[in-house]
Every structure is written in structure tokens, then in C-alpha cells.
Amino acid sequence: MLSLCGCSRSRSYSPVPADHDHPQPRGAAAAWELLAVSSSSGRPVHLALTPQGLAVVKQRTKGPPHLLHASSTAHRIIPYRNLVAATATATDSSPSSPSSSTRISLSALVPSDKRKPDSALALWHLDAAVHDVGRSTDQDAGATSDAQHPAAAAWCAEAERRAYAGVERRRRLHCVVNPHGGKGTAKRIWLDSVKPVFDAAGCPYHVSYTGAPGTPTNARALGLAHDSSQYDALVSLSGDGIVHELLNGLAAQPHSGARVLRETPIVHVPCGSGNALATSVYGPERATDTRYAALCALKGSPLALDLSSFSQASSASASSSQSEGGPGQERTYTFLSQAFGLMADLDLGTEHLRRWLGDARFTWGYVQGAIRRRRYPCTIEVKGARWDKGELARRHNQGLLRPARAAGDEGGAASKTHGDDDDMPAPTLVGRREDGRAHRRVDHLPVDGDFGPSDGGVDGDDEQWLTLDLTTEGVFFAYAGKVPFVSKDVMMFPAADPNDGLLDLVLVAPMSPLKALTAMDNASTGGLLSLPSVTYFKCSAYRLSFPPPAPGAKDGFISVDGERVPYRAFDVECHKGLARVMGFDGTWGGRSRIDGFDSGDDVKAR
């Protein structure tokens, strides 16, 4: 054990706190210890590399260095994942200081409130002069001044080895900052929160600021020009809309879109209003923690994410130039959601209220729609439908118990992974009608989402189409997506698996104003699934069409990943595992257990 006593080099006391919950096994390697004096406070600091993390013990008050007693110290354990950098530098000797000395610098991300372990992360630094280095079981004298730097450098190397175990050190990052989104906060978040973390880690990065649509620096153009061989990740400081544009730019790279998507994990640093991707990847507790996202850029691992083709007939002005979707088709890729009906109106139809109401415009718009009993006539065709809520919930819960899947794992039903092809998959639905082996047609949404004991209710038929003719009954809204959350407060798709090759499609029947006003009470935890008015599908593809607006009436709204698209019929087809995002531990933090479906019967309305 090491001592800070200036008159003795004996190892007589180690102030590292005992961990009774995780006792060190007999025969385990001893902790690497380092004693130093803080440059900022002049107080002794004891550092130890323990099995649980970096132990930091500081003396609360100044005093002789040999008086480092447990009663006068404060300590913390920093998990190795949160340790960003550890370096040692030698200070040359001078006439006033004939012997050379060594200094260490540590950087880590720690809870901003020590009393709340889950509080937002803050960047912590320690600069200190090294006093002694050794192992907790050594009985020999500590390192002399001449040997101090190699010993401290070895201690720092061991600290970084543990901090970056299984992760490439100093990743190369392409950071895309949207200076205009999220009330202009993205640039401030970059300068104040994210850049300092990357600087502390010593990782190389390039910064691109997004420009207006049509300019060479718009997000889609940046994705199109991104060189995946030069970077390890693409960091998007933005809302979900910029992520949508970046993914479509990557996908549009000639003859290499699929390969570039696989090679380019997206790191979403939440700077928008919804931040659905960040919430789904990091979990609701970390949905707005920008430094946690920066840590994920440094140490996360790629997660596979399905993309879906969103195809519409070309407009008259664009029909002469064929797009990649096929003759007369316009095709983009969606990673998040597609909305029709009231939810699209809330997202896009209340933009004029943003300046005065902010996010409260969504609540205002929803209340207006509920009171007016809005309904939207449409016809929806669903391919490979599964609709048994109880079985979907139980299978989802069982899936959460399985080991995490690495990116590229071939698990899941429906669409096959695109494999190692460089080109993007060809569309199979656009421009033609596909009857499949069977076609079932209904003209209403059933109570509690139950279509009866059909062969498609549980396991489905991947080639069967179910047509819902709702031109008379209409829907309150239709929403489809790939990740659990559509905003940080709304879990629209509680059974979503971002890499199962299937879309989650939610249809909500028209409701009375009272039921509509209470329907969203449990939206943050996925409570919509239990409502009788909600029909919940898993499917490989779907089509949605609707009557044209009345003469003189304005077009309605369709939202794709939060962006407006033309008010025309559309097809959506899921492609398994095309994209990558960066997360921790091979899991999506926003996925959680669905309660209420443990028995054999579907849960009724709450």
C-alpha cells in the first residue's frame, strides 16, 4: 500500500474504499495505485485501478500529506466506460528543481450530481503531480524520481487499456452540426458539451455545418459526399430530420449505398424537439444527455437498424425524370416513422404556432382534433400481418431476455438481411399490384384489434395481404415505424424491434372526445397498445391510399421521419439491417417490457 508521507516511502495505508458488495476474489490481481497532489487544490489524491473502476480518493482539507486518513477523505468510483483519457508527462529539471517530475492528466464523464447516479454527465478533469506509483501489495520502496515517469506512463496505459477494452482508441469522427435546428442549440451543444469531450479523448474529428436545402452543404449532400473509409462514425448534432437526410445521402452513393450504410454508424446527439432516435437508442433517462451521446461515439458499438423504402407516384413535373424507385416513382428511405391523419397534422400542420406555443402546439392541436372528432378516410393494405396483441407482447418480452445481437446478426423473421451487397435493394412493391397467395378484405377496424382466429393473427403469412377499406369509417390516425419512440415522451411502438425486418403499424379508430382526450395518458410507457380502439400490426410492407381532397380544399399532411412529403398514396417496404447506429452493450435502451399481457387473454382498456 502507498503512503503520501514525504519522509517515508513505505506502503502502510491504502485509502481505497472497501467494496463489500463486490469483494475482490482471492488471488485476483492487485490494484494499480498512484499517489499524486492535485494541481488545482494542492491536496493529496489517491488513485487506484480496481475491478469496479477507477477509485479516486481526495483529502477534503489541506494538511501534511501523511495525514491522509479515511475520516478526512472523499471518494468516488468512476466506471472504466466513463474514463475518457489518462496521460503522463515528464517535467524537465531546472536550477530551482534539480530533479525531474511527472504529471498526470485524467478526463472522465461523471454524474453532474453525485447524489444522483443517473443525472446528466459532466466532464471531469484531474491534473496532478505524481508522488508515487505501485501495486497495492508491493512492499518495496516506491518509484524514484528517475523511474517515476515510466511507472506513471505504465499506470496511465493500463488505465486506458481498461477504459477502451474491445474498442478502437481515438476513433475518427465526422461531426455534422445543424446550426439552425432546435432553436439554434446544436452549435452551442457542440462547442460546450461535445467538442470538449472529443478534445479530452484526443480523437480526430472533422466538423461540417449544414446549409439550406439545395446548397452543397445540406445534410443529404453531406451524406452523399461522406467517405466511410476515412471515418469510424458519423455524429449528427441535430434533430431526427437531419438524421433522415444523412441516411438518404449515404444510401444515394452510386453503386455503394448499402456498403456505406453498413460502414457508417450514426451517433445521434439530441439537439431537436422530438429526439426519437436518441430516446430509442439511449433510453428515456438519457434522451437529452448530450455528453452520454458523445461517450457513445467514443466507445459504443454498432447496432443494426432496418430501413424502409417509402415510394410514391411522381408528380406531373417530375414524371419525365425517372427516379430510383422505378418508372414514375419517387423513392426515399425512412428509419423512424410515417404518419397519416391527426398525428401528421400535429407534426406539420401546427408549424405556424411553433413561435408562440413551442412544443405546446402538439397538445393544442391534439385537443382540437379530439373535440372535433376528426376522422380521415383511407384504404390500407397490409402484407404479412400479425395482429394478436397478447402474442406480440409476449414474444417481445421473450426477445428482451435473449442475448444482445451484434450488428449483422441474421436473426428475425420476414425480410432477409441485405447481406454484403454494395447496391441498395431493389423495390418489390412500387409500380405494380401484388395479390399474393391470399387476399382478405374488411371494411372496419375491429374492437380491441382482433380480426378473429385467422392464419395471420400470430405467425402470419408473409405473402398474404389484408385490405382495410376505411373510406367510410376512417381513422383517427395511422402511424408506422421501426423504433419504440416517436418523441422523447411518446412510445408509439412498444413492441418494436429495430432489426426484425418488420414494421410496426398502429391504426387508431375514431373515438369520442372524452376517450380521445384520455388515450394519450400513458403514451410515454406504450399504454396505447392496451386501448380497444387501437389495432396493432407487425408487417413486412403496407400501402395507404385515400380519396382526393374536396374541390378547393387544401391538401392534408403526410409525415415521414418528421418531414413533409406530397399528399399522395404511398407504399412502405421494410429492408432488414441496412443501416447502423451506435449504442452500448448491443441493446436499444428504449426497448422495455410490455406489462399486462402475462395471461392468455389480451389486456382490456385501462
Average pLDDT over residues 398-426: 65
In terms of pTM, does the model score above 0.75? yes
Residue appearing with cell numbers 392468455: 600
Average pLDDT over residues 250-270: 96
Residue 322 has pLDDT above 60, yes or no: no
Using alpha carbons, select from 437, 167, 111 the residue that is nearest to residue 285.
111
- pLDDT, residue 460, reads 55
Would you list the domain boundaries of the chain? Answer: 32-163, 168-299
pLDDT digits (tens, 9 = 90+) for 323-335: 444 557 899 999 9
- What totals of helices (H) and strands (E) does the chain contain, helices first? 13, 26
List, edge to edge, every strand of the sheet that includes 503-508.
534-539, 503-508, 477-481, 337-341, 558-560, 563-565
pLDDT digits (tens, 9 = 90+) for 106-153: 999 999 998 898 999 999 999 999 988 875 545 444 455 566 789 999
- pLDDT, residue 149, reads 84
Q: What percent of the chain lies above the pLDDT cut of 90?
A: 55
Using pLDDT thresholds of 50, 70 and 90, give the confidence band for residue 321.
Answer: very low
Domain 32-163 has CATH 2.30.29: yes
Using pLDDT thresholds of 50, 70 and 90, give the confidence band for residue 361.
Answer: low
- pLDDT, residue 47, reads 95
Using pLDDT thresholds of 50, 70 and 90, give the confidence band for residue 452.
Answer: low
3-state helix, strand, coil in the chain (%, to 5): 25, 30, 45
Q: What percent of the chain lies above the pLDDT cut of 70?
A: 75
Residue 18 has pLDDT above 50, yes or no: no
Residue 317 has pLDDT above 80, yes or no: no
Contact 380, 543 (CB under 8 A): yes
| E strand or H helix at 77 | strand 73-78
Average pLDDT over residues 395-407: 82
Contact 412, 482 (CB under 8 A): no
CATH of domain 168-299: 3.40.50.10330
CA distance 100 to 194: 35
CA distance 325 to 233: 28
Considering only residues 165 and 349, tell me which one the structure prediction assigns the higher pLDDT: 165
44-48, 183-187, 339-343, 383-387: least confident range: 183-187
CA distance 557 to 340: 7
Residues facing 583 on adjacent strands: 301
Using alpha carbons, select from 570, 131, 499, 129 the residue that is nearest to residue 335.
499
